[in-house]
Amino acid sequence: MLRIITIAIMATLLTACADSHKLTRIGNPKDHPLSANESIYIAVPSDGMYEAKTYTGSGANTTQVIKTAFAHHLRRVQSGRIHQDFDVALQHAKTNNFTTLVYPTILHWEDRATEWSGIPDRLEVKIEVVNTADGSVIEEGLIKGKSGWATLGGDHPQDLLAKPVEEFVSSLFK
């Protein structure tokens, strides 16, 4: 009986430690819409907010995670330095001869002291992949993530992005 209780407790603790994420495609997904010849400009989203708190640097962190994922597939990947609205980012991409604009938007960003409060970090990020020639959306993805309960400190919402972003980006190539 003690063995069963010990196994149940261990399973609960391991499950509580696990982060979860979900990638959802928005609209009609196209099979492998990008090739290795593309050049990508990644815009910086506005910093995430939760209630009245702004998480300074969250936009830049999001851009860096996305840039790293695209850099595995392409030679020419560049990101912005400050937030630009969509039209400005699209114009910048066109002017600088990028074939594709990646426009992320932070919809939810919640950085909690999970190890003390038991409240998980959460995030929701929308990523639009846009053809710069005509401004049409090639592909869209929505990433939702939630940290596990037993984070042991130091975790942040951007830590929830790498796996689903890599999954989304990899699915865009042949």
**Beta strands 137-146 and 39-44: pairing type?**
unpaired
Average pLDDT, the chain: 82
Q: How much of the chain, in percent, has pLDDT values that exceed 90? A: 55
* pLDDT band of 12, cuts 50, 70, 90: very low
Query: What does the pLDDT look like over 103-137, one tens digit per residue?
Result: 999 998 887 655 555 566 788 999 999 999 999 99
- Looking at per-residue pLDDT, the higher value among 94 and 151 belongs to 94
* Contact criterion met (CB below 8 Å) for 123 and 143: yes
Domain boundaries, the chain: 19-170
User: What is the structure's pLDDT at 3?
Assistant: 53
**What DSSP element (H or E) covers 50?**
strand 49-50
Tell me the pLDDT tens digit for each residue of 96-109.
Answer: 999 999 999 999 88
19-170 adopts what CATH topology? Answer: Rossmann fold (3.40.50)
Which DSSP letter does residue 28 get? S
pLDDT of residue 42: 98
Query: DSSP letters of 84-133?
Result: --HHHHHHHHHHTT-SEEEEEEEEEEE---HHHH-PPPEEEEEEEEEETT
- The torsion angles phi and psi of 115, rounded to 5 degrees, stand at -65, -20
